[in-house]
């Protein structure tokens, strides 16, 4: 197996492990903490971060895996979450050309837009279709707390993703050098 294929497989494995860890924390740990009235969407943060850092293809693949996990454990129609996470990964990948390591403003703006788009998608597909028109209640009690909590968590997690990705890049560069 070539070195490039091994690097790609290693990255995919790391991303899958990150998504599994984010899923377990989001669905298993945060709901058990009585302090939090809402839960940050770690899968959404991970999907948009990797899409923003590495491009649309990586974002879409991470979105697909995150969406499949959500679909498997949500009890709704299969593909419901996969669709929105794939779109989030793709659209954030468009902003890769504006990616800078120390630039945190654009990722925070993208996080806010992604959270709003995600929740509006859920509102339209799950509530509006059934005639539940109280978007004010949904916005104030569900969207706004999760949006604020996700923005706060993004400040910390995005930097961790950056450091982890830089570490992976340096490891790959060191292994790729020919030592004579």
Q: Kindly state the tokens that stand for 56.
A: 């649309």
Q: Which helix (H) or strand (E) holds 79?
A: none
Q: Which strand (E) or helix (H) includes residue 155?
A: helix 144-176
Please report, in angstroms and rounded to a whole number, the separation of the first and last CA atoms in the chain.
22
Tokens, residue 116? 């709003």
pLDDT tens digit string along 52-81? 888 999 999 999 999 999 999 988 889 999
Asked if CATH classification 1.10.1760.20 holds for the domain at 3-172, the reply, yes or no, is yes
Would you give the distance in Å from CA 106 to the centre of its chain?
A: 15
Q: What are the distances in angstroms from CA 56 to CA 62, 64, 116?
A: 10, 12, 20
User: Tokens representing 31?
Assistant: 């709901």
State pLDDT tens for residues 82-118. 999 999 999 999 988 887 767 788 889 999 999 999 9
């Amino acid at each position: 197996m070539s070195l490039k294929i091994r690097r790609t497989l290693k990255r995919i494995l790391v991303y899958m492990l990150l998504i599994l860890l984010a899923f377990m924390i989001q669905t298993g740990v945060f709901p058990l903490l009585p302090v939090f009235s809402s839960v940050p969407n770690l899968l959404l943060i991970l999907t948009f971060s990797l899409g923003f850092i590495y491009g649309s293809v990586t974002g879409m693949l991470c979105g697909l895996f995150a969406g499949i996990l959500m679909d498997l454990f949500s009890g709704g129609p299969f593909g419901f979450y996969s669709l929105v996470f794939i779109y989030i990964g793709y659209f954030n990948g468009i902003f890769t050309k504006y990616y800078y390591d120390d630039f945190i403003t654009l990722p925070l703006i993208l996080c806010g837009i992604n959270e709003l788009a995600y929740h509006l998608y859920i509102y339209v597909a799950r509530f509006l279709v059934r005639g539940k028109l109280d978007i004010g209640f949904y916005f104030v009690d569900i969207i706004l707390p999760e949006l604020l909590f996700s923005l706060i968590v993004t400040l910390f997690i995005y930097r961790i993703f950056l450091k982890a990705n830089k570490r992976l890049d340096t490891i790959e560069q060191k292994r790729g050098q020919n030592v004579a």
